[in-house]
Amino acid sequence: MTESAPRISLVCEDLDDEGAGLCRLAPASESAPSSAEADVAFHVPGVLPGERCTATVTHRSPHKREGWAALEVLVHPSPARTTPACAAHGACGGCVLEHWAYDAQVAWKQEQVRGLLASTPQLPREALRAAVASPHPLGYRNKTKLVVARAEGGLRLGAYRPRSHDVVDLAGCQVHEPAVAEATESLRALLRSSAVMPFDETTGRGDLRHLVVRGNARGETLLVIVARTAESDGARFLAQALPARLPGLRGIVLNVNAHRGNAIFGDDTADRLLWGEASLEEDIGGVRLHLSARAFFQANRAVATEAYARIAAEAEVRAGDRVVDAYCGLGGIGLTLGRAGAVVCGIEEHAAATTSAAEAARENGVRDAQFVAGDVAAHLGAFGQAEIVVLNPPRKGCDPAVLAAAAGARPRLIAYLSCRPTTLLRDLVALTAHGYLLTSLTPLDMLPQTPHIEALAFLRPARAS
């Protein structure tokens, strides 16, 4: 950005996928240097729908009528604008909507799903249900991933500033559960007074790279230390000093990552137990799970519990019903249905997750459950008929072969829990073509203070006309 960069007056109409304002040139604007800015959609971080601002153009796409600008002055702030809870808001790039009242965030997410549904004529608009808000807009995240970096006066625990490798200190972050926040502050205090050397990505020297803290419903925590070598002095120091300072700590695990890439964890799947237990027991809706160092689990336990309960209520499991839980992860949804008497088959690409799910089935008294690792489409297609199919894929959604196999099982109910509405609606259209009807679609605010939207859809066989 230079002194000659155009300064323009904008009105924010919406948010983009990253939470930046989507703005157009303000009506009758005299600030535009030329008509070249007309009809250009500008992405402006920090601006909210309905706000008018002045901004400086930082980039114009040579291919599309799209640009990026930096906010200078808010001319007309939104009445829903509020003071962010975190001091690092705007710098860390995490909770980009913290300056927006929570009810406005939920309403926006509802309208995003409504708009997608309205643009998809194959799906019934009346299927949309009211969005489920998080009971805790702050203090809800049960996991944090922290970068360890050098700072003046000691070490810094934080996150990379967007599109850079500058580390922003996350001291005082308000979105983590109390136990996770307490563990993080204990780590920060220990490391600031220590001689531990953080990893330097430029030279490849140094020790600690990342710290991952996850918590459970009981307020207990598990620490994962990511270091450059298995002989990490920093890991040894934390394993000796932290347990005495943190009564709720249940285990410390070391992961070795010697690469210079951006991946948090190393390739070595054999994590090393330094102290205590290698996993953390979690409870979600009465189902006990074991969270290992790298296991996936929803960041918002309360909203995940609500989603599982809604699936169970809609499924109305009868004893002996056959359930396929595709992309099952640790098996939480399948085991929820298994406790009601279903015969469960969980399918997951990651073998470690299926091993944990099988152990959880035994602990929860679910006898008729099997968990298989491998290609979801192949295993689902080979399963045969099922009364209920659950789909919980990653952001890219389901492959067409998975959707064909799900419909081919002829279930009376397909439950689809999605973390990306655009791929969800694409897949719902495909399931409609396979003879299923969307009966309800509910947005879920799994990650408050972010533009991320999850949604839960139910489909049943279409009745012959």
**Per-residue pLDDT at 4:** 63
Q: Does 113 score more than 70 pLDDT?
A: yes
Render pLDDT for 140-159 as a digit per residue (tens, 0 to 9).
999 999 999 988 777 889 99
**Per-residue pLDDT at 6:** 81
State how far the Cα of 81 lies from the Cα of 154, in Å rounded to an integer: 35
Region 66-75: mean pLDDT is 95
Region 79-94: mean pLDDT is 93
Region 52-77: mean pLDDT is 94
**Per-residue pLDDT at 29:** 53
Among the ranges given (158-162, 377-381, 406-410), the one the predictor scored with the smallest mean pLDDT: 158-162
Query: Counting beta carbons within 10 angstroms of the beta carbon of residue 137, is it exposed (0 to 12), middle (13 to 18) or buried (19 or more)?
Result: buried
**Per-residue pLDDT at 145:** 95
| Domains of the chain, earliest start first | 7-76 (2.40.50.140), 107-135+300-461 (3.40.50.150), 143-284 (2.40.50.1070)
Angle between helix 400-408 and 376-383 (nearest 10):
10
Among the ranges given (123-132, 256-265, 358-367, 400-409), the one the predictor scored with the smallest mean pLDDT: 256-265
Q: Does 465 score more than 50 pLDDT?
A: no
Q: Does 269 score more than 80 pLDDT?
A: no
Q: Does 101 score more than 60 pLDDT?
A: yes
Express as a percent the part of the chain with pLDDT over 90: 83
Q: Does 304 score more than 90 pLDDT?
A: yes
Give, as one character, the DSSP assignment of residue 47.
-
Mean pLDDT computed over every residue of the chain: 93
Distance between first and last Cα of the chain = 61
Region 372-391: mean pLDDT is 96
For residue 287, is it left (φ>0), alpha (ψ between -120 and 50) or beta? beta
Q: Does 340 score more than 80 pLDDT?
A: yes
Render pLDDT for 15-39 as a digit per residue (tens, 0 to 9).
999 999 999 998 865 454 455 667 8
The torsion angle over the Cα atoms of residues 234, 239, 240 and 243, rounded to 10 degrees, is 140
**Per-residue pLDDT at 2:** 47
Render pLDDT for 449-464 as a digit per residue (tens, 0 to 9).
999 999 999 999 997 5
Which positions ≥6 away from 87 have C-beta within 8 Å? 171, 172
Render pLDDT for 167-190 as a digit per residue (tens, 0 to 9).
999 999 999 999 999 999 999 999
Q: Does 369 score more than 80 pLDDT?
A: yes
CA-atom Rg of the chain in angstroms: 24
Q: Does 270 score more than 80 pLDDT?
A: no
Q: Does 218 score more than 60 pLDDT?
A: yes
pTM for this prediction: 0.94
Among the ranges given (89-93, 266-270, 330-334), the one the predictor scored with the smallest mean pLDDT: 266-270
Which positions ≥6 away from 362 have C-beta within 8 Å? none
**Per-residue pLDDT at 147:** 94
State how far the Cα of 69 lies from the Cα of 97, in Å rounded to an integer: 18
Burial 203-223 (b: 16+ CB within 10 A, else e): eeebbbbbbbbbbbeeebbbb
Which positions ≥6 away from 55 have C-beta within 8 Å? 7, 8, 10, 23, 42, 44, 47, 69, 70, 71, 72
State how far the Cα of 297 lies from the Cα of 281, in Å rounded to an integer: 12
Q: Does 320 score more than 80 pLDDT?
A: yes
Which positions ≥6 away from 133 have C-beta within 8 Å? 102, 103, 106, 445, 448
**Per-residue pLDDT at 27:** 84
* Active-site residue list: 419
State how far the Cα of 220 lies from the Cα of 178, in Å rounded to an integer: 10
